[in-house]
Structure 1
Amino acid sequence: MKTSYKAKLKRALFRLYLFTVMGLFIPLVLIGNCLIIHFTFHDYLRLLSVLSYSLGSVILLFFHKRFKKALFAFSLVSALLLLWFICIPASNDRNWDPAVAQLPKITYDENLIHIEKFRHFEYTPNETKEKYRSQTFDIDQLVGTDLIISYWDNYRTIGHTFVSFRFKDGQNIAISLEVRKQELESYDPLRGMFKQYELIYLIGDERDLIPLRTKIRHEETFLYPMNLSVAHSKSFLKDILEAANKLNEKPQFYNSISRNCTTGMIEHLNKIRDFQIPLSQKIVLNGILDYYSYQLKGIPTDLPFDVLKRACYISETANQIPLDENFSLNLRQVINTRLEKERRKRNIHHPVETHSSN
């Protein structure tokens, strides 16, 4: 009786092993490595290499007399291919698209932040003037942070997120983590998972980064004041600037999942002491990041979310306000007026919220 039980258990474990190896491990490794070959090998080697690897693996695994030896050989080749992929270095030496050709450089002088290659592009219907300047900010004048989300689809499940830091004198630093595309290159989310794009922090004026979304790309854009304390805003800004500066010496790859416009910024936020944003599918579907921020009390919560979202819609307003030195102040004045109007309707006294931890 004991022998029969052991035999059944052994048979069940062997079947589980076969299912795991044949049903999960081998297909996932095959697909993953074929994608690595497809996206990273040169054009004239791509198809031949994919066919050689996939057909060779199938023949080895299904026709070799000793399956364990065949599995070991398949795993070894696949591991070497994966190791080669991991070791592919990022580069700053490519034929960059002019919009992302310049990396910002940041230096400090006590409380002053000096930014070289600070963007202030100018846009007309037929032309983009790529302009940069050197600009200095006093971090002690920092008063807050805003979350900006823009959408290019009607579903609003996927969008682009970036942040802007407000200063007492009306200046701002808008920062967007983006794909650093080469000239004539287009973005593909699947390619973005296989080291096909470097990343860049675009650091510039709101009169550049906001009209780029609202006026040139015609995206639906929302600007939310974040419930970050001044101290947390300073830590957030410093960590982003440090990462942006390091790219001058040590470039990094953009990744559609793990290092994109949203996850990258959350990584910086989570470096703030006692501050942690939980992982969620709402981060992957970053078009609903504003609602997730609302649930976490990272943006104002005294109004219903749908009311807050309507009040923070800025596309039409940003396209109407003159792009002068008062652009940012005027834009926020419109948002604040809408919010106060909605609060008065509901007899709500708006408290000053600060997000310290979660």
Structure 2
Amino acid sequence: MAVLLLLLLCGLALWVWGSGALWFQGPAQPALRWTLLALWTVWMLGSLVAYWSSQRPAMLMACWLLSFVALTVWWQQIKPSDHRDWAADVSQHTQVQAIKGPGQRVSVSNVRNFRWRSDEDLDARWEQRSYDLSRLERVDVALSYWMGPAIAHTLVSFGFSNGEHLVFSIEIRKERGEQFDALAGFFRRYEMVLVAADERDILAVRTNVRGETVHLYQVDMPAQAMRELFMAYAQQADELIEQPRFYNTLTANCTTIVWQLARSIGAQLPLDWRLMASGYLPSYLQGFGVLAPHATLQALKQAGNITERAKAWTAMAGRSDAQASIDFSRAVRQGMPPLK
């Protein structure tokens, strides 16, 4: 009986995975996808009926093993691409290069600095910028809540002593007109992209255009670790240019990639359920003592809620110069407690 139960659970898992793969990677025409899904379901159920008729588990196992092998071979042929009709906000790759000469200056290509009026109405601007890593003085984790308290998009902002901030964000690389579907993210539906952006673009578009709630948390890190994390993002950018990669809702998303980058520079960060339920990431970080120690998590959450400050500042500001971006970053951090 136990063997039969295990076999049925394996069959159920195979049917679910196969159904998702066929639905999200099958033909574009809905009628054909429904037909494939129906045939797949009939095959799986037919194999089970044949087993009950013959009482030969070996035959059932052979049918399902053949199905698994066939799906796996087909699945391995699905490769990520760098050449599609990408949406404007994820159309360019980030690239970071060291600048020869004294100091620790780097050049960052394709920094996104859009002006958003809506998701469709925007002024696209990709900029070439340079930063001195020796002037890197703070790292903030931004969490943008868009689907309840458990789910948030994770961004990391690097702040420099001159007031500039650069945000790195791991995102799905949407095609033009495409929308994110968390379930589709399990089935190689989206490529991954690393976006480098001005805070006034990537934070304000979420608060002011998409109606999301954004919280900022300053992370206590040594200066050397900040620079190493910045360069870990640079390496990730290079890898995505050399070899496109699929986004995965569970294993390769906006939070788990940051966790992997932090681990790559020596941070001792164990796996935790809050890496998947990223809305609770602040409590994970607080457990390592890297948030302001003299403030409660609730106080940090309240003080770091930049949503209304971003809306108020953007409503008043009409400038588009570099100082305006610095002023925005300063304004949204008003009231956040210092680390020390």
Same fold at TM > 0.5: yes
CA shift for structure 1 position 109: 2.7
Amino acid at match of 1:244: A
Residue in 1 aligned with 2:67? 77
Structure 1 CA distance, aligned partners of 2:226 and 2:159?
Answer: 9
Residue in 2 aligned with 1:293? 285
- Establish whether residue 107 from structure 1 lines up as the match of residue 97 from structure 2: yes
Structure 1 CA distance, aligned partners of 2:328 and 2:24?
Answer: 46
Instruction: Tell me if structure 2 keeps the 8 A contact 1:97–1:184.
Output: yes
- Establish whether residue 230 from structure 1 lines up as the match of residue 223 from structure 2: yes
Q: Secondary structure at the match of 1:134?
A: strand
Structure 1 CA distance, aligned partners of 2:66 and 2:268?
Answer: 38
Where do 1:126-275 residues align within 5 Å? 127-153=121-147, 155-273=148-266, 275=267
Deviation per CA, 1:86-107: give whole Å up to 9, x if none: 3411001111111211122222
CA shift for structure 1 position 269: 0.9
RMSD (CA atoms):
2.1
Aligned pair partner of 1:302 in 281, 287, 294? 294
Structure 2 CA distance, aligned partners of 1:336 and 1:301?
Answer: 18
Structure 2 CA distance, aligned partners of 1:227 and 1:188?
Answer: 34
Where do 1:55-94 residues align within 5 Å? 55-63=42-50, 65=54, 66-94=56-84
Change (3 A) 1:334 1:259: closer
Instruction: Tell me if structure 2 keeps the 8 A contact 1:142–1:234.
Output: yes
Change (3 A) 1:227 1:30: same
Structure 1 CA distance, aligned partners of 2:6 and 2:97?
Answer: 53
Instruction: Tell me if structure 2 keeps the 8 A contact 1:144–1:229.
Output: no
- Establish whether residue 40 from structure 1 lines up as the match of residue 25 from structure 2: yes
Structure 2 CA distance, aligned partners of 1:29 and 1:54?
Answer: 11
- Establish whether residue 18 from structure 1 lines up as the match of residue 16 from structure 2: no
Stretches of 4+ moved more than 6 A in 1?
none
Amino acid at match of 2:18: N
Deviation per CA, 1:77-133: give whole Å up to 9, x if none: 212312321341100111111121112222223532211111111123683101011
Farther off after superposition, 121-130 or 303-312? 121-130
Q: TM-score, normalised by structure 1?
A: 0.84
Amino acid at match of 2:162: D
Instruction: Tell me if structure 1 keeps the 8 A contact 2:142–2:216.
Output: yes
Structure 2 CA distance, aligned partners of 1:208 and 1:292?
Answer: 27
Farther off after superposition, 26-35 or 54-63? 54-63
The percent identity for this pair of structures is: 25
Instruction: Tell me if structure 1 keeps the 8 A contact 2:310–2:328.
Output: no
Instruction: Tell me if structure 2 keeps the 8 A contact 1:120–1:205.
Output: yes
Amino acid at match of 1:152: W
Residue in 2 aligned with 1:11? none
CA shift for structure 1 position 282: 1.6
Q: Secondary structure at the match of 1:43?
A: coil
Q: Secondary structure at the match of 2:333?
A: helix
Q: TM-score, normalised by structure 2?
A: 0.88
Q: Secondary structure at the match of 2:337?
A: helix
Structure 2, unpaired ranges of 5+: none
Change (3 A) 1:338 1:147: closer
CA shift for structure 1 position 249: 2.5
Where do 1:308-347 residues align within 5 Å? 308-321=300-313, 322=317, 325=323, 327-328=325-326, 331-332=329-330, 335=333, 337-339=335-337
Change (3 A) 1:241 1:207: same
Q: Secondary structure at the match of 1:185?
A: coil
Change (3 A) 1:129 1:329: closer
Instruction: Tell me if structure 2 keeps the 8 A contact 1:119–1:132.
Output: yes
